[in-house]
A and B are shown apart, each in its own frame.
Chain A
Amino acid sequence: MTDTSRRPGTSAPDGTPPRRSMLNDAGVRAVLFQIIAMAIVIAIGWYLVGNTLHNLATRNIQTGFDYLSREAGFAIGETLIPYNATDTYARALWVGVINTLKVSLIGIVFAMLIGVVIGVARLSSNWLLAKLATIYVETLRNIPVLLQLFFWYGLITEVLPAPRQALQPIEGVFLSNRGFKMPAPADHPAWWGALIALIVAILAVRFLLARARRIQAATGDRPKTLIPSLALLIGLPVAAWAVMGAPLALDMPELRGFNFQGGISVSPEFAALTLGLTLYTAAFIAETVRSGIQAVGKGQWEAAAALGLKPGVTMRLIILPQALRVIVPPTTSQFLNLTKNSSLAVAIGYPDIVSVANTTLNQTGQAIENIALIMLAYLTVSLSISAFMNWYNKRIALVER
């Protein structure tokens, strides 16, 4: 369909050259048009760059990325890699990138889980459940996500008590206005052993499923996979953990001074951001899941029922594979939206890339470089997510003759 704007009449039907001016020739006009467009863009760019250079010079703003190797001089509340105020701006920005990735990754996983549950719940034959899911989707979709973030942040910092009076819903878990504290297993090689065993178990399960598929294709009988898979997934890590010494020691959070020490801690900013982004995006994912499942023809359910398949098996082997084709592309955009919305962190003070770059910008005055770095970071993340999801989409897409 791309060649449709080729103009008719580039040459007269009878073969004689058309008697018209050069300007009426479609080919010439196309070139001319593009030259003009290019010229306008270059002229605007030239003008803006000229102004900018002049302004930078008169305001004594430095240019270039030299500042990246200078000492940042500001502290960052939460970091996954070691960082302190004497480190460079480059490292500070890198901490911001990692924080953005952390929030996005955790957000995507939870949003997907909640979204699928809510989406399926909206289709439930249980009236109460379906209505509740609808209310959830309609409410959360129609309120700006920033407002929701402020709400959750307010809830955590204003309503929860100070650390001294922290709520303790389960032994060892503390909820206070300084965030959440959970006991963590004390560092011991056995935990790493269990992690490696889990990865091995996942690979083994994949092999098991592939074998089951092969046998089903060859003989029509599908060997039972659920129980062996579960046994592998739970058994292997537990066995590894037990063999390597079965450590039970936990690093319990303890109140020392004004705050808790030890254990896993979740800051109020991170909690509010993850909660807000997850619940908001889940509402959108729920809609794509619902429409995807509804897009699968009723006949597919009926055909499966006629073959004597149980509803669970029908869902897993017949409906979901078809629904996924409809679900994956819009869900990709939702993942991207969640990642981009994580930039709202700057509003509640979570040190993501935008927040760190903004601090850097205020300290160095180098607006262009910092904003370019933020854009570069997001473009890289966005393009990677879409590349991965496109690969996945291609894998599950309908192969037609």
Chain B
Amino acid sequence: MTAQTIPEKTAVERPPAATVGPIAWIRGNLFNTWYNALITVAIAWALISWLPGLIDWAFVDAVWGRAAPEACKAAEGACWAFIREKYRLILFGTYPYEEQWRPLASILIFVTLVAASGYRKFWSRKLVYVWGAALLLICLLMWGGVFGLPLVETRLWGGLMITLVLSVFGCGIAFPIAVLLALGRRSNLPIIKALSVTYIELIRGVPLVTLLFMASVMIPLFLPEGLNINKLLRAQIAIIMFAAAYLAEVVRGGLQAIPKGQYEAADALGLGYWQKMRLIILPQALKISIPSTVNSFLSTLKDTSLVVIIGIFDLMLATRAALNDAPWRTYFAEAYVFAALVYFVFCFAISRYSQWLERYLGRGAHR
């Protein structure tokens, strides 16, 4: 090949196919193969035929603000007026109307605390005291009866607060029990091990609904005559028992991931069992299992909705109660979308946090 064979004309060669810019992006991500092109067209067609209708229903033709049920009947779209009318019932249940700032304040304290606990910066012993103080404050706010706050019995509590109470206390109390169960399961004392395994497998093998039934009909039978635990507490016990079994397996996973050398090193130092666990093994095991623990909290939050079945007035049942009002009966979709949105905000935040945490904690592992 000599230089002459390259004619000057090649300068008018077509420009290379674009590799940047929107057209290239569309070509690369939507039409890169014939079947992808087909899929893209099919999805686009489906979206074009469904999305406008959905948007019209949810926004354009919807009834916003305050409106009578008749106005909703006349409109074609969603009836958000129903939510406007009932949001207090859905969020606060039958808590006295005048006092609803109290559950609202408690919810805000809860959310702030949980959010703050997520930051590495705040992970210290102080956090435990802050939690203790805050829970005391929440109890004070919710029950009242002192400082001029009227007393509100738990049977009047309801809505989002119940959901949060059940899940936060459920996980909080279940966690130490879970750690003990996990240690028991890994113990080489046969009786302790057998007890832990039986508990974990029995609870994990049955649905939460069964435990809730058990809590609602059997706990009264178990207790001595005259002693009556209220319904909310019984449901809480069932949720704690359930969450503990699942968390125990998460913690066990963490324990199994600790290399044998760590145990041997602790033994070599002459540490006793509890010292070894508290100072060497558990801190590492719990750190490894934090992301799965957070996921476990997420499922507990969702599972609290099952207390509907035994008639506890949580967010879910409050939503159903709002639908019992005859003129609004038909707006079930709006009610469920609203409740779903509330659950989604919490759960999505938790799941994103768990993913972030996994990356954050994994940083040290991938130097």
Contacts and interface: CB of A to CB of B under 8 A. Distances in A.
Interface string B272-302: 1100100000000000000000000010001
Contact of B30 (A2, A127, A139, A341): A127
A158 interface: yes
B223 A51 contact: yes
B351 A142 contact: yes
Chain B interface residue number, banded: 35 or more
Given A126-B29, A340-B207, A354-B210, A2 B195 contact: no
Interface string A206-228: 00000000000000000000000
A112 B286 CA distance: 32
Contact of B202 (A1, A142, A145, A379): A379
B333 A155 contact: yes
A378 B210 contact: yes
Interface string B19-46: 0000000000110110010011001100
Given A128-B43, A144-B316, A34 B188 contact: no
Contacts of A144: 302-303, 305-306, 316, 343
A372 B229 CA distance: 22
Contacts, number: 176
Interface stretch (B93-101, B109-117, B263-271): B263-271
B343 A142 contact: yes
Nearest to A37: B192
Contacts of B36: 124-126, 129
Contact of A375 (B206, B223, B302, B351): B206
A64 interface: no
B38 to A, nearest CB: 10
B169 interface: no
B189 A1 contact: no
A138 interface: yes
Interface stretch (B72-80, B126-134, B148-156, B214-222): B214-222
29 contacts: A4-B260, A5-B263, A6-B267, A7-B272, A8-B270, A48-B222, A51-B221, A52-B222, A54-B224, A124-B36, A124-B39, A125-B29, A126-B30, A129-B36, A129-B40, A138-B348, A143-B347, A144-B306, A146-B305, A146-B306, A147-B305, A154-B332, A158-B330, A347-B308, A374-B210, A375-B205, A375-B210, A379-B205, A379-B206
Interface of A: 1-9, 30, 33-34, 37-38, 41, 48, 51-52, 54-56, 58, 124-129, 132, 138-139, 141-147, 150-151, 154-155, 158, 340-341, 343-344, 346-347, 354, 358, 361, 367-368, 371, 374-375, 378-379, 382-383
